[in-house]
Structure 1
Amino acid sequence: MTEFESLDGEDGWSDEFANDLIGSTVLVGITYVDHDDQLIRREQVYGTVTSADQVSGIVIQQDTGEDFVIAPILDAIEYAQPGIYQLADEDAAVENPDFTALLTVRSPLRS
């Protein structure tokens, strides 16, 4: 199991908000960059939040049945505006998700 810890000592965790996420639909946009902030790839994931834990992350069950875990960074999650969100790489669209999130994953410099 993946465990997350804050890099800056701040966690911004709210049990109340985390509990509100459970059972809701979330659309997540993830940007992967290298150590120089050069784009590697982008990914979009959506599904239903099945658990939200400060240490083990936020688990999203996708419509394929697979779980996808994101870091427990509640500051990256916002209430979604109503509407249809077209996924960039697919013909699929997500209608009226409860929340959206934008995350950046930065690769470390390898020596």
Structure 2
Amino acid sequence: MRALLHWWLGLVDPFGRARWANKVVLIGLTEVDSDNQPLRQVQAWGRIVNAMRGHNFLIELDGHWKGYFCSLPPDPNRFRIAPPGDYALKSTGEMLRDPDFTTTWISDLDSGADLEKVPGLFLTAEDLA
């Protein structure tokens, strides 16, 4: 019966939204300079609220970034199942226990750019309205 249910869900939702919905993800973002040298690292975490094929993953952030949303390209291969345990977020001083996924991204933003102002990266609820 379970195999039939998984088969049916695959037909109805081939991208597997059910696999992603409400899962906690730890996001690592590294900004690099023109020589590909790291300038700074930012970490955030939150729950995936939208994961549809062809659309960015939308993550409602919590902790230090509460009140923001993060929009990431729709590439499920960039998300890894997180081994159980405590994760220290050096950029915020937070401790996150047992996230479902981790994902890391590299950006070539100009040094000193305000990450909250990067179009499409960190969004407020007003941006989504």
TM-score with structure 1 length normalisation? 0.73
Structure 1: runs of 5+ lacking an equivalent: 1-13
Counterparts of 1:26 and 1:71, CA distance in 2: 14
Aligned to 1:37: 36
Indicate the SS of the match to 1:68: strand
Bigger relative contact order (CA 8 A; separation at least 6): 1
Structure 2: runs of 5+ lacking an equivalent: 1-13, 111-129
Q: CA deviation at 1:107?
A: 4.5
Q: Pick one of 104, 107, 110 that aligns with 2:106.
A: 104
Aligned to 1:48: 47
- Tell me the matched-pair count: 94
Structure 1 vs Structure 2 CA RMSD: 2.0
**Equivalent pairs: percent with the same residue?**
27
Cα deviation, 1:24-63, whole Å, max 9, x if unaligned, reads 0000111111332122221111000000134331111012
TM-score with structure 2 length normalisation? 0.64
Q: Contact (CA 8 Å) 1:35, 1:107: kept in 2 or not? A: no
Which of structures 1 and 2 has the bigger CA Rg? 2
Once the two structures are superposed, the pairs formed by residues 4-83 of structure 1 within 5 Å of their partners are 15-16=15-16, 18-63=17-62, 64-83=66-85
